[in-house]
Structure 1
Amino acid sequence: MDDRDRQCGGGRVHVVAAADGEVAAMTSRLPVGRAVVLVMFAAYFLVPLYAAVDFTLGGSRRNMGHTLSIWTGLIHQDGFTENLMTSLKIAAVTVVLLLVLMVPTMAWLHLRLPRMRRLVEGICLLPMAIPAVVIANGILGAFKSWPEAITGSWWILVFEYVVLALPFTYRSLDAGLSAIPLATMVEAARSLGASWPVALWRVVVPNIRTAIASAGILGAALALGEFTIAHLLLLDTFPVWTDQAGQQDGEVAITAAMLILFLSWLLLMLVSHLGRGRKAKKPETSGKKQKVGTGR
């Protein structure tokens, strides 16, 4: 490297310039390193996924070739439809309860109690550090006086999954609320006569739509794939059915697991598409405002 002096006003600025060869070497090394890392990560995730999909298509029976018979016959398995619908109901109710609880709480926390955000964050992150067995026993102890229709059915799983999804929900909503001028929006809505529920529904929620969708998708994915707590409570869900089916037929279990994985991917792709669509609308809106201003 060589130092070059440049005059800037009345003083002298020392500019450190790298040699052309060093710059070329740096630019040539970086893409190669990134490509190697990407290939390694892709192989780490895609090779087992390919092996699982190939196994469900009959890849273990080379003399028969690939076939969709396992996928098409999955719906005719005993308990498949009932347990899948149960898991879908659990996921839907979990997402609704989670968002109804957390969206107003997070908005109020950002507006009125910003100093309590660290404390609430620590509380919401506790499920990541507490074992699932402890959470299951705690929920059962808290709801032991409730009717058997709740504690002995899939409703008890809803309350447990709401607790387990708190870390992901908090992170998603906190990022969404931190990215908007929340206080200004709410004050403007209140000054126009809107009540707090109306301001929350008509002003806050539309501006954090992507964050809400992300929190909902993560909660749904957790509810669809959770096995430990449902197994400990002796409740029938789709992951529990998958484990039981795997003891009799490994191909059916792998196919069911791939089905849940693909459903989760579709949900994540939907959230990503919603986020890109929302970002793409912003330049159009600003362009329209600029045209109106020039017309005046």
Structure 2
Amino acid sequence: MAVNATAESRESIEPTGTRPPQLRAARVRRQSVIKFVILFVTLAFLFVPLISMLVFTLRHPLSGRWSLAPWVAIFTGNGESLGADLTVLWQGLGASLALCAVTVVLMLLLMVPTMVIVHIRSKALERAIEWVATLPLTIPAIVLVVGLGPIYRWLSSSLLNTNPIWLCFAYVVLVMPFAFRAIAVGLNSIDVKTLVEASRSLGASWPKVFFRVIIPNLWQSILSASFISIAVVLGEYTVASLLGRMNLQVALYQLGQSNSQISTAMSLLALLFGVVLLVALDLISERVAKSKEGK
């Protein structure tokens, strides 16, 4: 009995590489099947709704007739034949693109200098800023609007107006968690203190240190924060709708009341634009990594 137990224990701790080829091949096949099932389920979860949206834009829900008319209406800018006024769509798209640009600029002006200074001076304060920056993830958008509503009412009547561009202040708050994480990854990947001390010892002023030493090493993280912020702004609906401002998502909702096919087609284009941004970010990151390896 003792001999058999010893033999079994040796087999149990025997390396996988010494198993018979048949057992190794069977294990590889099982792993391949499991990987295929997981990949198939994941892709189906992601792409079945998108394919359904695409079919909906091409097939009329009542007559069953297939047509490219909704897509033609978007690219020609004329939806009168389908009973849709695309003016509101172009207004919402223009407002969202302007909001993307202004939000990204304000976010970078606020986050990058603050995070660099805090990263150099105080780790404790950096953790406090991280806690504040991630608060918008834990607060529902409807609660944010309840707090922002009186502020925007006062701004609109006393200082500014009801132009959608002023949503940029609220959107900076919404994109802070994502921007903070992207920039923090860049700061933690380089030795900021050593770079600053070396530059200062060579006589560089603080503006030169910031723009010629730190920013070139952080530009990939800055690009990531900008792309993620653009994707968030393009997909935001709750704040703009409840504050009575126009953006792309609000325009799509209003357009959907008259022609849901055109609205769905434009939603697909917005999703595609977000995917293109993320793919571009991945390609740029890969090219930067290869260029650094080549040096």
- The TM-score range, normalised by the shorter chain, is 0.7 to 0.9
Larger strand proportion of the pair = 1
Q: 1-side partners of 2:27 and 2:180: how far apart?
A: 40
Residue 220 of structure 2 is aligned with which of 210, 223, 226? 210
| Residue 93 of structure 1, CA deviation | 0.4
Q: Which residue of 2 aligns with 1:224?
A: 234
Flag the structure with more relative contact order, 1 or 2, with Cα contacts below 8 A and sequence separation at least 6: 2
Taking structure 1 as the reference length, the TM-score comes to 0.84
Residue 134 of structure 1 is aligned with which of 126, 136, 143? 143
Q: Which residue of 1 aligns with 2:72?
A: 72
Residue 96 of structure 1 is aligned with which of 105, 116, 124? 105
Does residue 125 (structure 1) correspond to residue 134 (structure 2)? The answer is yes
Q: 2-side partners of 1:231 and 1:100: how far apart?
A: 27
| Residue 193 of structure 1, CA deviation | 2.0
| Residue 98 of structure 1, CA deviation | 0.5
Q: Which residue of 2 aligns with 1:83?
A: 92
Describe the shift of the 1:178–1:245 C-alpha distance in structure 2 as closer, same or farther (beyond 3 A): same
Q: Which residue of 2 aligns with 1:47?
A: 48
Q: Which residue of 1 aligns with 2:3?
A: none
| Residue 167 of structure 1, CA deviation | 0.8
Taking structure 2 as the reference length, the TM-score comes to 0.84
Larger helix proportion of the pair = 2
Describe the shift of the 1:254–1:284 C-alpha distance in structure 2 as closer, same or farther (beyond 3 A): same
1:136-157 deviation per Cα after TM superposition (whole angstroms, max 9, x unaligned): 2323444555354635222331
In structure 1, the gaps of 5 or more residues are 5-14, 286-296
- The residue type equivalent to 2:15 in the other structure is A
| Residue 26 of structure 1, CA deviation | 4.3
Q: Which residue of 2 aligns with 1:187?
A: 197
Alignment root-mean-square deviation, CA:
2.3
Does residue 250 (structure 1) correspond to residue 251 (structure 2)? The answer is no
The answer on whether the counterparts of 1:140 and 1:151 sit within 8 Å (CA) in structure 2 is no
Which range moves more in the overlay, 74-83 or 160-169? 74-83
In structure 2, the gaps of 5 or more residues are 1-7, 79-85
Q: Which residue of 1 aligns with 2:278?
A: 268
Q: 2-side partners of 1:129 and 1:71: how far apart?
A: 38
The answer on whether the counterparts of 1:58 and 1:65 sit within 8 Å (CA) in structure 2 is yes
- The residue type equivalent to 2:19 in the other structure is D
Describe the shift of the 1:27–1:190 C-alpha distance in structure 2 as closer, same or farther (beyond 3 A): farther
